């Protein structure tokens, strides 16, 4: 179930930002219905800003769709021109950051999944006087690279929560599926699982951009080793493949996954997925844009030098009734 601590933290952050912004956006039922933000509503009267978000993934991925929903709602409220781009290659992502610098944007939101490629270009952003907020991945590199703060979950802690939960369920052998090699966040998740799980954890590297190949790899592993009684997917699309692979392999393994979307909620309801780790991507997008606006208009900085945590929260079938309408509209 959703942890009380995570819910309190997220609620408090949103409340603080709403107060700092002078409650300029529309609220209550009206804002709930307008998932894209202040559509037709009143935005702030601060000068128009331009904020770029550059991520390491995004094409056809519902997780990043949810991140963008949050960012766009904050942008609509804050009178911000929001620019989004992504590239799965580290070099390409760095080039997109440089392009944003060349456009003289007022702020940059960036992920640090492959941090070694981002350090130099983020130093250039700092030299150009462009504030940066990192989200989602690479929190330990954020301050070092000059970012104001990092917004996301602690991936190691999230992995540890999964390992602990699987241990409570009496699982003995876990297959942790890494769908993007070199992504530090995914590696940290599996390492976290291994740290707190009393049984055996084996990592399986697959090509997340090739769904049939990924499914076949998981299926082959389950067929070859019937002792695997849990599969941990590190993203919602991989969870769907793991469910199919389990069925085709006639395996009894439980499927657990990181990240939440409408399909994962349906699978939780159908008991095809045991539990999911929600890091609240909507908040990551919303808070990042809002923080840059607050910094530019009021010199505010979130976190006090520490990451602003949006997770982890373990979601089970019991949480489905409360979450269905939000995942249906693409905000959870």
β-strand partners of 314: 277
Q: What is the pLDDT of residue 34?
A: 45
Q: What is the pLDDT of residue 42?
A: 62
- This prediction's pTM: 0.82
* Structural domains for the chain: 4-153+280-301 (3.40.50.2300), 155-278 (3.40.50.2300)
Residues of the chain predicted below pLDDT 50: 1-41
């Amino acid at each position: 179930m959703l942890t009380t601590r995570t819910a309190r933290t997220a609620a408090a952050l949103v409340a603080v930002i709403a107060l700092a912004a002078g409650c300029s956006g529309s609220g209550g039922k009206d804002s709930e219905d307008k998932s894209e933000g202040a559509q037709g509503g009143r935005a702030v009267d601060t000068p128009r800003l331009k904020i770029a978000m550059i991520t390491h993934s995004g094409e056809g991925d519902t997780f990043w769709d949810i991140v963008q929903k949050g960012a766009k709602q904050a942008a609509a409220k804050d009178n911000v021109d929001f620019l989004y781009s992504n590239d799965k290659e580290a070099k390409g992502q760095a080039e997109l950051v440089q392009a944003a610098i060349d456009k003289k944007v007022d702020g940059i939101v960036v992920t640090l999944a492959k941090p070694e490629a981002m350090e130099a270009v983020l130093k250039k952003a700092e030299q150009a006087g462009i504030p940066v907020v990192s989200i989602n991945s690479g929190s330990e590199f954020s301050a070092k690279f000059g970012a104001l703060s990092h917004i996301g979950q602690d991936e190691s802690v999230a992995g540890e929560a999964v390992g602990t939960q699987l241990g409570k369920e009496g699982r003995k052998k876990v297959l942790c599926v890494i769908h993007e090699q070199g992504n530090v966040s995914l590696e940290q998740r599996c390492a976290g699982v291994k740290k707190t799980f009393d049984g055996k954890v084996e990592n399986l590297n697959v090509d997340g951009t090739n769904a049939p190949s990924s499914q076949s790899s998981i299926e082959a592993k389950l067929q070859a080793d019937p002792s695997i009684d849990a599969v941990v997917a590190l993203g919602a699309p991989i969870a769907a493949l793991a469910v199919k692979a389990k069925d085709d392999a006639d395996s009894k393994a439980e499927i657990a996954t990181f990240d939440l979307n409408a399909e994962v909620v349906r699978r939780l309801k159908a008991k095809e997925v045991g539990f999911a780790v929600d890091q609240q991507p909507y908040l990551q997008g919303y808070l990042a844009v809002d923080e840059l606006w607050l910094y530019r208009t009021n010199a505010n900085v979130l976190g006090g030098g520490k990451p602003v945590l949006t997770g982890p929260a373990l979601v089970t079938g019991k949480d489905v009734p409360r979450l269905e309408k939000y995942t249906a509209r693409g905000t959870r």
